[in-house]
Amino acid sequence: MPSPSPENPGLFIRDPYRYSEAMLIIPPPLVACLECFDGRQTDLDLRAALVRITNDFDVGEIERALVETLSEAGFLEDENFARMQQARRQEFAEQEVREPAHAGSAYPAEPEELRETLAQYMDGGARTGTDGLFAIAAPHVSPSGGWQSYRAAYQALGPELKDRTFVILATSHYGEPERFGLTRKRFVTPLGECATDERLVEWLAARAPKAVEMEDYCHSFEHTVELELIFLQQVLGPEVRILPILCGPFAHSLYNGGLPEQHEGVKAFLDALGEMREREGDRLFWVLGVDMAHMGARYRDDFAAVAGEGVMSEVQARDQQRIEAIQAGDAGGFWELVRKNHDDLKWCGSAPFYTFLKTAGKARGELLNYEQWNIDEHSVVSFAGMAFRKG
């Protein structure tokens, strides 16, 4: 993305998978050279690009420095990257618990400060009652930006739900398409440690092995389960029991037509999840960790986006169409809207929403709060708080 530092312009690069902790800013003149690292061009192509940029034939030192810097940071597909990748994956696989990845950045790392912050976010909310309530949808955007929608969703929960298993269907931003990421690990946050329902994890993995990524490494850094968990712990106590499921994108259907369940693995997992819902009944409560549209410069659009203005007014109307399909429990109608223009609204929550609609049975959805938020000066994310009751 563009460098966030005015004093250091250029292209900011980091590794979302956290194989590497390095963060680099590539100066503007050298940004075009990155196209040479595509696996097809050669050292000669890179040298020619540097000569054009510098108007100097003596570019050997710049070339070496650029290649070495990218390699040492783990940003080239080479032996160093392979070692870093293997080490991180093995480290996560051997951990007994999933440690908090976003404490101190997305939310306070100190327990008391986190409790106070979450209490402020939840303050003033009025409970809507749990009659027939079996699911909520909340954002996974930074709580500081989306707290009103978090509050709208989580204020519906009461202590009578404490002993249920909370099935968290969350967006996997970097997971494999048509795959669902599972883990047996307990999750830790500054508020405490909660158990993962291993019995249900094993059952899903056995029923749909081709669609499951077991001990999915994406769990180690993905924020979409973690942010739901801190709100669950704040409302119901630290020892809630969860079934965390990361939903990879349904890319095949999105770009080739048809419905997601026409993919064999996806169908097997949706069938298993639906059977689990029928069998477990009220022992489960469903939580969707989902954002909606992503628009503006940060998301590769050729325009600056401002919440509630200009093109974002049109986005709100289109978001509303999708929300209405969700409220009606119309999975097919929802997916048709998503597939249009290959989801130019870039709803990262489309896979969890569709997974829920296909497996939840008859439900009545209620929109509790809708928001658009400028995540930066030129980019907007939309999201909502929703509740679902048996219908």
User: Tens of pLDDT along 115-168?
Assistant: 999 999 999 876 666 789 999 999 999 999 999 999 999 999 999 999 999 999
Residue 288's pLDDT is what?
Answer: 98
Residues 36 and 170 in one domain: no
CATH number of the domain at 117, please.
3.40.830.10
Q: Which domain holds residue 195?
A: 100-390
Residues 262 and 147 in one domain: yes
**298 or 347, which is more confident:** 347
Residue 223 is assigned to a structural domain of this protein:
yes
Residues 222 and 189 in one domain: yes
Residue 19's pLDDT is what?
Answer: 95
User: Tens of pLDDT along 73-85?
Assistant: 999 999 999 999 9
Residue 2 is assigned to a structural domain of this protein:
no
Domain boundary among 68, 91, 114: 91
The model carries a pTM of: 0.92
Residues 224 and 353 in one domain: yes
Residue 1 is assigned to a structural domain of this protein:
no
Total domains in the fold of the chain: 2
Cβ atoms 357, 103 nearer than 8 A = no
Residues 167 and 39 in one domain: no
Residue 69 has pLDDT above 80, yes or no: yes
Domain boundary among 63, 91, 119: 91
Residue 5 is assigned to a structural domain of this protein:
no
Cβ atoms 158, 213 nearer than 8 A = no
Among the listed residues 244, 249, 259, the one whose alpha carbon sits nearest the alpha carbon of residue 349? 249
Residue 269 is assigned to a structural domain of this protein:
yes
Cβ atoms 208, 120 nearer than 8 A = no
Residue 3 is assigned to a structural domain of this protein:
no
What average pLDDT does the segment 178-187 reach? 98
Residues 185 and 301 in one domain: yes
Domain boundary among 91, 111, 129: 91
Residues 204 and 85 in one domain: no
Cβ atoms 246, 216 nearer than 8 A = yes
Residue 24 is assigned to a structural domain of this protein:
yes
User: Tens of pLDDT along 206-265?
Assistant: 999 999 999 999 999 999 999 999 999 999 999 999 999 999 999 999 999 999 999 999
Residue 6 is assigned to a structural domain of this protein:
no
What average pLDDT does the segment 337-345 reach? 96
Residue 128's pLDDT is what?
Answer: 66
Considering the chain, what percentage of its residues have pLDDT values greater than 90?
Answer: 94
Residue 289 has pLDDT above 70, yes or no: yes
Residues 65 and 177 in one domain: no
Residues 207 and 298 in one domain: yes
Residue 40's pLDDT is what?
Answer: 94
Residues 85 and 124 in one domain: no
Contacts of 215 (CB under 8 A, 6+ apart): 92, 93, 182, 183, 184, 185
Average pLDDT taken over every residue of the chain:
95
* Cα 336 to Cα 343: distance, rounded to the nearest angstrom: 10
Residues 178 and 271 in one domain: yes
Q: How confident is the model at residue 362 (pLDDT cuts 50, 70, 90)?
A: confident
Residues 219 and 358 in one domain: yes
